[in-house]
Structure 1
Amino acid sequence: MISHIRAAGTSFLLDARGTGVPSVVHWGRDLGALDEAALTAVADAAVPAVPPSSIDMPLRLTLLPGLTDGWSGRPGISGFSSGDSRNPGAFSLVGVETPAQHKLLVRLANIAGSLAITVEIELSEHGVLGLRSSITNRASTAFELGSLDVILPVPDRASEVLDFSGLWTHERRPQRHRMAHGVWSRESRHGRPGHDDAFLLTVGTPGFGFRTGEVWAVHLAWSGDKRLWAERSALGPATVGAGELLAPGEARVEPGETWTTPWTIAVYSDAGLDGLSAHLHPWIRSWSTITTPRPVVLNTWEAVYFDHDLTTLGELADVAGRVGVERFVLDDGWFSGRTDDRRALGDWFVDRAKWPDGLMPLIDRVHRAGMDFGLWVEPEMINLDSDTAREHPDWVIDADGLSWRFQHVLDLGNPDAFDWIYARIDALLTEYPIRYLKWDHNRDLLTASAHRQTTALYRLIDAVRAAHPTVEIESCASGGARIDLGILRRVDRVWTSDTNDPLERQEIQRYSSIVIPPEYLGGHLGAARSHTTWRTSDLGFRLATALFGSAGIEWNLTAAGEDELASIATWISSYKSLRGLLHSGTVVRADSSDPALSLHGVVSSDGSTGLFAYVASGAPLTALPAPMRFPGLDPDRVYRVAPLSVGAEPRAIQDAAPPWLGNPEGVCLTGVVLAAVGLPAPLLAPEQAALYSVTAVG
C-alpha cells in the first residue's frame, strides 16, 4: 500500500508496497488530493537509477535505513544481542495500520524474528509531523540498543543548515553553513539540552529567512542527551535526523521488554522560519496546560538574593501589588541553613531562623497586596553540605566527582530519593497556598544515565501535577538550558534565560520563539544595570523587551523612584490589555538587511490587530535605514499604524522624525503596502525599541 497523509500545506508519502521496510517518498510541500492511481504513479516515478559500482537495485531511503538497504549513512538503528553479531540485521514489513486520520502505525520485524519495531507517524491538523519508535525484544537474551533514530529525506535544494549554540545568559545563538558531503551533527551530553542546545535543526533553500524560502526542520521532544543532524551522502540523498543520544549499556532491552523513543517533531514551511512558527505555535496551544491569562510575576532573586526577612520582602510585596503585579515568587534562600549556594540544597524545610512563624506571614502579606504566591525549588539537586546528603549519601550521584555551582545531582532513579523529594514538595504544597513552583536545575549531569534521570524527572513532575493540579510550574535550568517540547508538555512557563539584559534578550527571545509560543517565554524587567552583563539600559528598552512574552519583574522595586514606578504601572496595565493578543496571535518577524535593526510582532488570528516592535540593537549601517515593513497582515485590508507608549519613550537621534509620526492618528495603508513598501523608520539610538499598534480600519 501507499500511504499519504496531508494537512496544513504538508504531505508525507510512504511507499509500503512489498515486504521491505517502507520508503519515504516525500515529506514537504502538499501534493494535493491524490487517488490511488496517482499515488502509485508518484511512488513509481520516484524510483532512481542504478549507478555504476553500487548495489544492483535502486537505492531508496526507508524508515529505518541501514547497511542491509545499501545505505552507508547514519543508520536508523544500531545495537546487538549477546552472542549474535547479526543483530539487528535486516528488517521486513509486518503491516501498516491507520488507526486514525493522519496517523500511521508501521510494524516491522527483523529477519531473525528477535526484534519487533512499531513506528508511529502522526501529522497534526496544524502540519506538524511527529514520529517515534518502540522496539520489543522477542529473544531470550538482552538486546543492547545503541540508537533508534528518525531519519527523513530532504531535497537537494535544501542546501543550507541553521541550528543554534550558546552559553549561559547567551542562549539560542544562530549559526549557519552550507551543506557538503558528510554529517553535520549536534550532540548534547549535558543530561539536559544545555545552553548550547541545537534546539531546532533547519535545512532550507539558500538564503532562507524569517519570511522567505523553503525549510525543513527537526526537534527532539526530550529533556536529556540527544543529537540532531543533517547529512548529505555521496550516494545522492540528503537527510535530517534526530534521536536520543544513548550511552553504552544505557538502553538494555531485556527479553519481553519494550523501549520507546522520544518524539521527533518535524515541520515543513514554504514561508521561511515564520512558517515553522505558524505550524508549531497553534499545535502547541492545542495541547497546552495553560488555561488562564499569564500573570505578571515578581521574582525576588535579583531583588534580595539570599537575604530573606519578612520586613524587606513584605515591603517589596506591597510595592509590587501597588504597580499591578499578580504573582509574587520567593526565590532561593527560604529553606533551612540556606545562606549561600554552597549548602543546604536538598533540605526542603522552611528555615525557622528566617521564618520563625513559617511562610504564612509573608503569604498573607502577598495576598493582601492582591497577588498569589509562588516558591523556588531545585528538586533534582543537592549540596554535600546538607542534612539529606549526610544522612543518605547513596542518594547522591557521583559524590566524589565534579561539583557544579557547589552542588551534585540527586538520584531520582533511586526510589527512596524519589519518594523523599516528592514527599517534601507535596508537604509544602499541602501546608501552604502555593500556586506556582519555579523548578530550577542548575548543573549538568556529567555522569550516570541521562535517560534514567530524565524519565524519573518526568515521573516526578507528573506526580506533583496529578496531586496538585492547580499549581503551575515554571521550568528553569540555569536559565534556558532545558527548553524543549518534552518539558513543555509538563510545565506552564519556561525561564528563557538568566539574563534580563534587554540587548541579549532581544536575540534570545527572537530565536526561542521560533518553536516556543510567547506565553511560555518568561521575560523580566530588571534593574537599569544588568545582573549578568553589567550593561546599563534605558527603562524604555527594558519595558519594550519584557512585554513580548510571559512578563514579569526581577528588580528591588522598593529602591525604584516614583517616576519609575509610574512607568512600570503603565507598562503592566498595557501588558494586561495586550496579553490576549500577544499570547494567541501569530508571531511574525521581518527580514532585515541591517543586522543592527529588526522588526518583530504579533498579529491576531483574524488579522484585525497587531503589535510590532522596531528594535535598534546597535548603530545602523546607513544614515537613513530601510523602511519598516510590517509582515503578516491581510494584504487587502486597510490598517491604521500608530506609535504605542507603554510607560517610557524611546530615544531617537534625528533633527526631525518622519512626518507620518507627527500625526497623532497615525497613518492608514493597506496590508500589502505595509508589507512591501513599509513606513520610514525613526532614527533610534542604539539599544532602543519603538512600539506600534496596527488596527484594521472599517
Structure 2
Amino acid sequence: MLIHLQAAGTSFVLDARGPQPPSVVHWGAALGDLADDDLAALVSSAVPAVPPSSLDSAPRLSLLPTAADGWSGRPAFAARHFRTRSVDRPSPGSVLVSLAADGLEVAIEIELSAQGVLRLRHRLTNTNEQSYDVNSLNVVLPVPTRACELVDFAGLWAYERKAQRHPLRTGIWSRETRHGRPGHDDPFLMMLGTPGFTFDEGEVWATHLAWSGDKQLWAERSTLGPTVLGAGELLAPGEVRLAPGESYETPWTVAVWSGDGIDGLSARLHEWIRSRRAPLKPRPVVLNTWEAVYFDQSLERLMPLVDAAAAAGVERFVLDDGWFLGRTDDKRALGDWTVDPVRWPDGLSPLIEAVHSRDMEFGLWLEPEMVSPDSVLAREHPDWILGGPDAATWRHQLVLDLSVPAAFDHISDRIAALLTEYPIAFIKWDHNRDVLQEGSAHRQTTAFYRLLASLKQRFPDVEIESCASGGARIDLGVLDLVDRFWTSDTNDALERQHIQRWTSVLMPPELLGSHVGAPTAHITGRQGDLSFRLATSLFGHAGIEWDLTTATPADQAVIAEWVAEYRKRRALLHGGTTVRSSGDDPVRSVHGVVASDRKSAIYALVSLRAGGEAVPAPVRFPGLDPVRRYTVRPLVLGSPPRTLQDAPPPWLAAGSVTLPGRVLAEVGLPVPLLTPEQAQIFTVEAKY
C-alpha cells in the first residue's frame, strides 16, 4: 500500500507495501494531487543506488529503524526484525500500522492535521510469557540533506529558551533531559533547516516531544543513510517493565515542516493548538501577589492591593505562596495544604469576598508534587517521599511520590477540599525542583497527568497554570490538561523579550503568562521604564506582578490605561498570526500579531541594546495583505519611548501614514531612534 497524506501545503508519503516496516518517502512541501501511477513512480524512483561495502540492497529507513534492518544510526528500538501485519486508514488524514516480531507487537499511529502538523506515536505490547524491559522506543523521521543547520534551546532558571544555532555535521547532536520535568534547559523544539533559515525565509523541519518528563531529541547526519530527526521518552533501565499482555504507549512526537521559515512553523502550530482546545474565554488580566508581598500575607496587608488591582481593571487576583499552615518562608510546610489560622483566622473567605465584590476572580498558588522535610505530611508519611526522607533537597524540599496510591489520594482530596470550600477560579500549579531519582520520572509524570485529569473532571471550570519554577514545564503533553503557562520567573522586560520571542514559536501567546514587574526587576536588579515593561507584557496573557500600592498615582493611571488597551485588543493579540523580524538581531527586533482576516495588526519595534548605525534600517511589517491599504499609527503606552534624535521621521511626527501592505512589508517605514531597552508599538488598520 502506498499512502499520501496531504494538508495545508504539507505532504507525507509512506511506502507500506510490506512485509518490512513502512518507510517515509517524503515529508515536506505538498506534492499536489498524485494519481496512483504517479505515486507509484515516485516511490519506485526514490530507491537509491547500492553503494559498495554496504548492505546488498538499497538503504531504507523504516518507521521503526533498528540495527537488525541495517540502520547504523541511533535506533528507534532494540534490534528486532519487525514485519508488517496490517496497514489501515482510520481517516483520510491518519494511518495505523501494526508490526510484530519475537513476541512483541508495535502499533504506530500517524496523523497529519488540517494545519499540516504531523503526529506519531508507538504502542508496544508484550505478547511473550515473560516480562519485558522497555529501554527505548523512539520516533525517527528522515529529512532532506539540504537541511543542515540546527537550532534548539538551552537555558537556566529565569533565563529560559536560549536559542543555539550551529551546522549539523556528520554524527549526532543529541539533547537529553533528566530533570523529571522538561527543565529550564529543555531543547523544546528542535529545528533543522536549510542554511541561514530565518523567521521568514527557508525550509525548516522541527520536532517536539509532547511529554513532561525525561526526554531525548536528536538530529543525526550519516554517511550511510539519510539525515534524521528523532524524539522519545528517556527511560532509565527497568523503569518500564511490561508483564505479559501489558503495553507501553510513547508520548506523541509532534513534527512540522515549513517553507516560510520559523514563522511558518508557528503559524501551523498555533492554529493546530487552537483547533484542539475548547475556545478559551478572553484571557483575564491577572495580578499575582508573589513579587508584591512574598510571604507577608494577611487580610490587612492585601486589602490595599485588592483595591489597587480593581482600580487598574484587573480581572483575576491570585494569592501566591504563603497562605497555608506554617508557611512563613520557603523552608517549611509544603504538603500541609490547610489555610493558616494565624494569618487567616477567618479562612480565605474574607479575602475572596473582597476580590469578588470588586468584580475579580480569585486564584490560588499550590505546589502539590512537593513536600517540605519540615512539614506535618513528611513527619507522618516519610514513606510517601520519593527516595525517602534522606534524599537530597532542592530549594529545601523533597518530592512526593504520586505513584503511591495513598499519597495520590491525599493530595487529590486536599485540593478537592479547597476547591469545594472556596470559589477558586484558577490554580497556579508550581513545581520548584528537579526530581533527581533514577527510574522515577515516568511513573511520576504519568501520576501527575492522572492527578490533573481527575481534578479537571471534577472541577471543569477551574483553570490551571503550569508553572515549574518558571518555564521548566512548557510542553504539548501537559497542554491538554492546563490553560496557561508561566513563561519564566523573571519579570525583567529585557530578558522577557528573548524568552517570549522563542517560547511563542511553539505556544500561542494567549497561553503564555506575561506580567508587568516592579520598576527594579526582582531577579536581575535591572531598572526598566514603565513604557517598556508595558509593551513587553502586552504580547501574551497579560498581568501584573508588582505591589501597585507603591506605584505613583500617575503610574497607576497609566497601568489602568494599559489594561484597557489590552482588553480592547486581546481578541487580535490572542487570535491572530504571530510574525517576527527576519533574523535574531541582538540590537533590535520586530514582532507582531496580524488578524486572521488581515484587516488589522499590532507590532512592536524593540531596541534591545545600543546599535552601530546612526540611522537604522526601516521597520518592515510582515504578514499584511499586499493589496490592501493600511494606516499605521504609533500607540503610546504611558509615556512615549525614549529616543535620541534631533527630529523624528516626518511620518511619525504627522501621526500616521497610509500605504499598501506590499509597500509596508517590502520597503517599511523609517523608525524613531530608540535608546536601549525601549519599545515603540504600532497599530495597523486596513482602509477597506
TM-score (norm 1): 0.98
Find the aligned partners of 1:648 and 1:354 in 2 and give their Cα distance. 40
Matches within 5 A, 1:293-372: 293-372=282-361
Q: 1:620, CA displacement in angstroms?
A: 1.3
Which position in structure 1 is the counterpart of 2:33?
A: 33
- Alignment partner for residue 568 of structure 2, among 569, 577, 585? 577
- Alignment partner for residue 249 of structure 2, among 250, 260, 268? 260
Q: 1:621, CA displacement in angstroms?
A: 2.0
Find the aligned partners of 2:351 and 2:670 in 1 and give their Cα distance. 51
Deviations 1:9-63 (A, max 9, x none): 1111000113101111011111111111111000000000000000000001110
Find the aligned partners of 2:242 and 2:308 in 1 and give their Cα distance. 57
Which position in structure 2 is the counterpart of 1:661?
A: 652
Check if 1:607 corresponds to 2:598: yes
Find the aligned partners of 1:682 and 1:235 in 2 and give their Cα distance. 54
Deviations 1:541-576 (A, max 9, x none): 000000000000000011111000000000000000
SS in 2 for 1:77: coil
Which position in structure 2 is the counterpart of 1:208?
A: 197
Check if 1:421 corresponds to 2:411: yes
Deviations 1:486-515 (A, max 9, x none): 111111110000000000000000000000
Deviations 1:631-679 (A, max 9, x none): 0011111111110123232111100001110112x11111111111110
- Alignment partner for residue 643 of structure 2, among 644, 652, 667? 652
Given that 2:298 and 2:343 are in contact with CA atoms closer than 8 Å, whether structure 1 keeps it comes out as yes
Matches within 5 A, 1:451-600: 451-592=442-583, 594-600=585-591
Which position in structure 2 is the counterpart of 1:443?
A: 433
SS in 2 for 1:514: helix
Find the aligned partners of 1:213 and 1:269 in 2 and give their Cα distance. 8
Q: 1:288, CA displacement in angstroms?
A: 2.1
Deviations 1:170-206 (A, max 9, x none): 0000001101111000100000000000000000000
SS in 1 for 2:135: strand
Which position in structure 1 is the counterpart of 2:208?
A: 219
Check if 1:433 corresponds to 2:423: yes
Find the aligned partners of 1:29 and 1:254 in 2 and give their Cα distance. 43
Given that 2:125 and 2:246 are in contact with CA atoms closer than 8 Å, whether structure 1 keeps it comes out as yes
- Alignment partner for residue 95 of structure 1, among 58, 62, 86? 86
Given that 1:97 and 1:106 are in contact with CA atoms closer than 8 Å, whether structure 2 keeps it comes out as yes
Counterpart code for 1:68: A
1:593 and 1:484, CA in 2 relative to 1: closer, same or farther beyond 3 A? closer
Find the aligned partners of 1:344 and 1:18 in 2 and give their Cα distance. 59
Superposition RMSD in Å = 0.8
Matches within 5 A, 1:89-128: 89-110=80-101, 112=102, 114-128=103-117
Given that 2:618 and 2:668 are in contact with CA atoms closer than 8 Å, whether structure 1 keeps it comes out as yes
Find the aligned partners of 2:61 and 2:289 in 1 and give their Cα distance. 54
Find the aligned partners of 1:218 and 1:480 in 2 and give their Cα distance. 19
Deviations 1:142-172 (A, max 9, x none): 1111111000000010000000000101000
Find the aligned partners of 1:140 and 1:359 in 2 and give their Cα distance. 56
SS in 1 for 2:136: strand
Given that 2:629 and 2:687 are in contact with CA atoms closer than 8 Å, whether structure 1 keeps it comes out as yes
Find the aligned partners of 1:140 and 1:466 in 2 and give their Cα distance. 37
Find the aligned partners of 2:186 and 2:459 in 1 and give their Cα distance. 31
Deviations 1:59-116 (A, max 9, x none): 01110111122110011112xxxxxxxxx52001111000111000011001x3x001
- Alignment partner for residue 393 of structure 1, among 382, 394, 401? 382
Given that 2:429 and 2:466 are in contact with CA atoms closer than 8 Å, whether structure 1 keeps it comes out as yes
- Alignment partner for residue 641 of structure 1, among 632, 655, 660? 632
Find the aligned partners of 1:692 and 1:18 in 2 and give their Cα distance. 57
Number of residue pairs matched by the alignment: 686
Given that 2:18 and 2:83 are in contact with CA atoms closer than 8 Å, whether structure 1 keeps it comes out as no
SS in 1 for 2:505: coil
Structure 2 stretches of 5 or more lacking a match? none
Matches within 5 A, 1:58-69: 58-69=58-69
**Identity in percent:** 60
1:594 and 1:439, CA in 2 relative to 1: closer, same or farther beyond 3 A? closer
Given that 1:343 and 1:386 are in contact with CA atoms closer than 8 Å, whether structure 2 keeps it comes out as yes
Which position in structure 1 is the counterpart of 2:161?
A: 172
Counterpart code for 1:591: S
Which position in structure 2 is the counterpart of 1:82?
A: none
Find the aligned partners of 1:594 and 1:491 in 2 and give their Cα distance. 33
Find the aligned partners of 2:176 and 2:286 in 1 and give their Cα distance. 34
Which position in structure 2 is the counterpart of 1:46?
A: 46
1:129 and 1:592, CA in 2 relative to 1: closer, same or farther beyond 3 A? closer
Deviates more, 1:583-592 or 1:491-500: 583-592
Find the aligned partners of 2:14 and 2:287 in 1 and give their Cα distance. 51
Structure 1 stretches of 5 or more lacking a match? 79-87
Given that 1:231 and 1:238 are in contact with CA atoms closer than 8 Å, whether structure 2 keeps it comes out as yes
Given that 1:289 and 1:491 are in contact with CA atoms closer than 8 Å, whether structure 2 keeps it comes out as no
Q: 1:289, CA displacement in angstroms?
A: 4.5
Q: 1:592, CA displacement in angstroms?
A: 4.3
Given that 2:324 and 2:339 are in contact with CA atoms closer than 8 Å, whether structure 1 keeps it comes out as yes
Counterpart code for 1:556: D
Counterpart code for 1:44: S
Given that 1:299 and 1:329 are in contact with CA atoms closer than 8 Å, whether structure 2 keeps it comes out as yes
Given that 1:142 and 1:255 are in contact with CA atoms closer than 8 Å, whether structure 2 keeps it comes out as yes
- Alignment partner for residue 694 of structure 1, among 671, 684, 687? 684
Deviations 1:669-698 (A, max 9, x none): 111111111101110000000000001112
SS in 1 for 2:425: strand
Counterpart code for 1:220: L
Check if 1:242 corresponds to 2:264: no
Q: 1:315, CA displacement in angstroms?
A: 1.1
Which position in structure 2 is the counterpart of 1:10?
A: 10
Find the aligned partners of 1:312 and 1:352 in 2 and give their Cα distance. 16
- Runs of 4+ in structure 1 off by over 3 angstroms are none
Check if 1:619 corresponds to 2:581: no
Given that 1:290 and 1:492 are in contact with CA atoms closer than 8 Å, whether structure 2 keeps it comes out as no
Find the aligned partners of 2:115 and 2:583 in 1 and give their Cα distance. 28
1:222 and 1:593, CA in 2 relative to 1: closer, same or farther beyond 3 A? closer
Find the aligned partners of 2:80 and 2:422 in 1 and give their Cα distance. 57
SS in 2 for 1:133: strand
